[in-house]
Amino acid sequence: MSNPEPILEVRSLKKYFPIRDVFSRRVGWLKAVDDVSFKVRQGEIMGLVGESGCGKTTLGKTIIGINQPDSGQIMFESEDIGRLPRRQHRRFSRHLQYVYQDPGASLDPRWKIRRALHEPLIIHTALTRAQRDERVREILRAVGLPHAHLDLYPHELSGGQQRRVGLARILTLQPRLVILDEPTSGLDVSVQATILKLFRSLQQTFDLTYLFISHDLSVVRMMCHRVAVMYLGRIVEVGQTRDIFDNPRHPYTRSLLSAIPQIGGRRVSEEFLLEGEPPDAGNLPGGCRFRTRCPLAEGVCVREDPRLRTLADGHAAACHLV
């Protein structure tokens, strides 16, 4: 990559949600994002993986500003955008965009595609109608949709076409970082391959950086330069994609990789097959959060909460035993 400097740096980010009883009294906290730190470099595709409920989507929505962080910093292009007033945050929001897991939900069913693509340009730019038309046509060509689709409604499009429209909608604003939330979920395998190829093409054409949130490890392995593994609100391992898949260090990462179906091959290790359900996020165990499911857990795992630390090979893992 041409520029190794981080475009996004998250520092000790926390996002908690109150747990209330039937009388609306707060009785605890659900720690959806709990002291998360990582960097995304300019031009890279950073993967974020983990089980459902681990906090991946909440983290993405907190970075984008949909959720307000409780503490920590979100540094986007060296500016702390985590606690900016809404008016000032708008200056950065056009360059930091979010692609929803369900693209149809982000499109007004009463609007034709033409209006949906013009709307962000009306809000965020001072372009004339003719200039907006030109940019919309350019972006529509880039995502591989014909001009005639501008006069269709969202329900008249397939799931793959809706994803292309969702991408076109954010690309009109010429973003620099795009957060992709489960971008291939619900698509046929053949359509997934087409969409992933499109992501690669758009990244090169528009010089994009991606934060790629997914539970599909095979897609992550194919698409991402680096991977961060998340468990119960914490990042437990970070490394180059090849290193993560070939030499996972954290027991949870080994468990995830052991769950990948193999045809005629072998798993990472049968002893790391993931069993049981994660603990209640509102009542976390002391020490290591993974210890209740970890086949290697020892006494220190009960007593001390491991911190994410960098290992000799540049890998980072939050485990007492590595």
User: How far apart (Å, rounded) are the C-alpha atoms in residues 299 and 288?
Assistant: 10
**Given the DSSP bridges, would you call strands 209-213 and 177-181 parallel, antiparallel or unpaired?**
parallel
CB atoms within 10 A of CB 13: 21
pLDDT, position 187: 80
Under DSSP, is residue 262 helix (H, G, I), strand (E, B) or coil? coil
pLDDT, position 282: 87
For each of the domains in the chain, give its residue range(s) and CATH number, in order of start. Answer: 6-95+175-317 (3.40.50.300), 104-174 (no CATH)
- Residues listed for the chain: 322
From the CA atom positions of the chain, what is the Rg in Å? 21
User: How far apart (Å, rounded) are the C-alpha atoms in residues 51 and 49?
Assistant: 7
Inter-axis angle of helices 129-142 and 189-206, to 10 degrees?
A: 130
Angle among Cα 108, 100, 85 to the nearest 5 degrees reads 85
pTM of this structure: 0.90
pLDDT, position 313: 79
Contact call for residues 180 and 202 (beta carbons, < 8 A): no
User: How far apart (Å, rounded) are the C-alpha atoms in residues 252 and 249?
Assistant: 9
Contact call for residues 291 and 216 (beta carbons, < 8 A): no
Q: What is the DSSP letter of 41?
A: E
Q: What is the dihedral of CA 18, 33, 215, 253, to 10 degrees?
A: -130
Residue among 187, 201, 5 nearest 102 (CA): 187
Residue among 97, 72, 83 nearest 7 (CA): 97
Q: pLDDT (tens digit, 0 to 9) for every residue of the chain, 322 residues total? A: 444 689 999 999 999 999 999 999 999 999 999 999 999 999 999 999 999 889 999 999 999 999 999 999 999 998 999 888 777 777 788 899 999 887 777 789 999 999 999 999 998 889 999 999 999 999 999 999 999 999 999 999 988 899 899 999 999 999 999 999 998 887 888 888 899 999 999 999 999 999 999 988 989 999 999 999 999 999 999 999 999 999 999 999 999 888 776 655 555 455 566 777 788 888 899 999 999 999 889 999 999 999 999 987 789 999 999 8
pLDDT, position 262: 62
Alpha carbon of residue 146 to chain centroid: 29
Strand partners, 230: 235
Strand partners, 227: 47, 239
Contact call for residues 314 and 255 (beta carbons, < 8 A): no
pLDDT, position 106: 79
Contact call for residues 224 and 209 (beta carbons, < 8 A): no
User: How far apart (Å, rounded) are the C-alpha atoms in residues 177 and 270?
Assistant: 38
Name residues whose C-beta falls within 8 Å of residue 274's C-beta, 6 or more positions apart in sequence: 252, 255, 256, 258, 259, 293
